[in-house]
């Protein structure tokens, strides 16, 4: 399927806004509290998270609030032993670090950008290390330490040690698996073979119906993006018979399995399959995932195709017209 083509019968709008809250009331409440600098309310929302997956999702939402870095240090200073403000501040500093670095490949990032990137990541590392010293079983903190390990170039063995800490306390942590996949992909510190092996092993060792099957889709997307000279070449990589078969197997073992249940990161999970199936020309399978997503647009993985809201709608309109 062409990557960007005009649908004969457009099925919806040309673009939609990104909504990392998934429409979840708690996430929206957190955003409202942070925008008004109401830490007691924000703390209450974060403290009510039922597990590490939900806490990591809320932290992901909150960490994108601009200006958080200007007032949250005062909250930290008032209670140095409190973990939640340290977690949120560490998460925010990671996002702020990547804003300085940008999402470009390393050869396009200036020395000044890298210096600011590393400085902010070191602050995040210090905050998060403080959390795990106090709470060694805090899987959300270990998950974010996986990201600082990648950015600070601490190496795959150290990243693996941190990943092992996450899964020891929360085996199916979705975002931690996504971060470890990034660590071992070719554009960072691994290879296509290592990436596919990690994704496949995670899926094979997870219970039937686990969300972790989407890692297989992400791995094939990463490989196709890395090998494609132009965005329009991606479909050729994903459309190979063995790749399409692997995508269907992964969906059958995860989002299409009777035991599958949505988790806090459900939209990212279904987006990975929707994007991979759409680009592979598996229109019916892609349409099924788009129907589940509704109008929920995540930045990742759609940002790989440019503007997330436009890419989501373009692919959805195309497959709806052909399924």
Give pLDDT tens digits for 278-321.
999 999 999 999 999 999 999 999 999 999 999 999 999 999 99
Region 74-86 average pLDDT: 89
pTM: 0.92
Both 259 and 116 in a single domain? no
Band (231; pLDDT cuts 50, 70, 90): confident
- Residue-range definition of the domain harbouring residue 75: 23-183
Both 240 and 286 in a single domain? yes
Contact present, 138 and 131 (Cβ < 8 Å):
yes
pLDDT at 5: 47
Band (3; pLDDT cuts 50, 70, 90): low
Q: Residue 307: which residues within 8 A CB-CB, separation 6 or more? A: 15
Reply yes or no on whether the pLDDT at 7 is more than 70. no
Both 245 and 301 in a single domain? yes
Domain boundary among 125, 148, 183: 183
Number of domains in the chain: 2
Both 129 and 214 in a single domain? no
Band (23; pLDDT cuts 50, 70, 90): confident
Both 226 and 138 in a single domain? no
In 10 A of CB 283, how many CB atoms? 17
Domain boundary among 159, 183, 207: 183
Both 62 and 134 in a single domain? yes
pLDDT tens digits along 107-138: 676 777 878 899 999 999 999 999 999 999 99
pLDDT at 157: 97
- Return d(Cα 101, Cα 140) in angstroms, integer: 24
pLDDT at 107: 66
Domain boundary among 183, 198, 233: 183
pLDDT at 104: 62
pLDDT tens digits along 135-145: 999 999 999 99
In 10 A of CB 49, how many CB atoms? 19
Domain with residue 165: its CATH number is 1.25.40.10
Contact present, 179 and 146 (Cβ < 8 Å):
yes
Residue % of the chain over a pLDDT of 70: 94
Both 175 and 196 in a single domain? no
pLDDT at 59: 97
3-state secondary structure 237-262: HHCCHHHHHHHHHHHHHCCCCCCCCC
Band (9; pLDDT cuts 50, 70, 90): very low
Out of 20-29, 163-172, 186-195, 268-277, which region has the weakest mean confidence (pLDDT)? 20-29
The two three-digit tokens of residue 285, written as one number = 């399978």
Contact present, 159 and 153 (Cβ < 8 Å):
no
Residue % of the chain over a pLDDT of 90: 83
Reply yes or no on whether the pLDDT at 11 is more than 90. no
Both 13 and 52 in a single domain? no
Both 227 and 308 in a single domain? yes
Both 208 and 146 in a single domain? no
Closest listed residue to residue 269, CA positions, set 217, 321, 318, 195: 217
Both 139 and 256 in a single domain? no
pLDDT at 293: 97
Both 163 and 37 in a single domain? yes
Half-sphere exposure of 32 (CA within 13 A, CB side): 9
Region 68-91 average pLDDT: 92
């Amino acid at each position: 399927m062409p990557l960007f083509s005009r649908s004969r019968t457009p099925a919806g709008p040309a673009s939609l806004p990104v909504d990392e809250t998934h429409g979840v009331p708690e996430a929206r409440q957190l955003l409202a509290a942070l925008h008004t600098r109401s830490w007691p309310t924000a703390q209450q929302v974060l403290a009510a998270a039922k597990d590490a997956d939900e806490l990591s999702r809320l932290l992901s939402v909150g960490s994108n609030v601009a200006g958080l870095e200007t007032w949250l240090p005062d909250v930290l200073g008032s209670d140095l032993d409190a973990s939640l403000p340290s977690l949120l501040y560490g998460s925010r500093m990671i996002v702020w670090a990547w804003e300085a670095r940008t999402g470009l490949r390393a050869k396009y990032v200036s020395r000044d950008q890298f210096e600011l990137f590393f400085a902010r990541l070191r602050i995040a590392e210090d905050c998060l290390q403080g959390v795990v010293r106090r709470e060694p079983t805090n899987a959300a903190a270990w998950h974010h330490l996986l990201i600082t390990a990648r950015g600070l170039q601490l190496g795959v063995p150290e990243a693996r040690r941190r990943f092992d800490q996450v899964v020891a306390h929360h085996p199916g942590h979705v975002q931690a698996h996504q971060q470890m996949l990034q660590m071992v992909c070719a554009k960072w510190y691994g290879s296509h073979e290592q990436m596919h092996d990690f994704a496949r092993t995670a899926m094979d060792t997870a219970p039937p119906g686990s969300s972790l099957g989407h890692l297989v889709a992400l791995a094939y997307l990463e490989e196709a993006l890395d090998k494609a000279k132009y965005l329009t070449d991606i479909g050729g990589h994903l459309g190979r018979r063995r790749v399409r078969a692997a995508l269907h197997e992964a969906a059958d073992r995860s989002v299409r399995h009777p035991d599958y249940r949505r988790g806090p990161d459900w939209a990212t999970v279904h987006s990975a399959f929707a994007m991979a199936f759409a680009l592979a020309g598996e229109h019916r399978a892609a349409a099924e995932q788009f129907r589940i997503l509704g109008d929920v647009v995540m930045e990742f993985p759609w940002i790989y195709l440019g503007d997330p809201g436009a890419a989501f709608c373009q692919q959805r309109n195309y497959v709806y017209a052909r399924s």
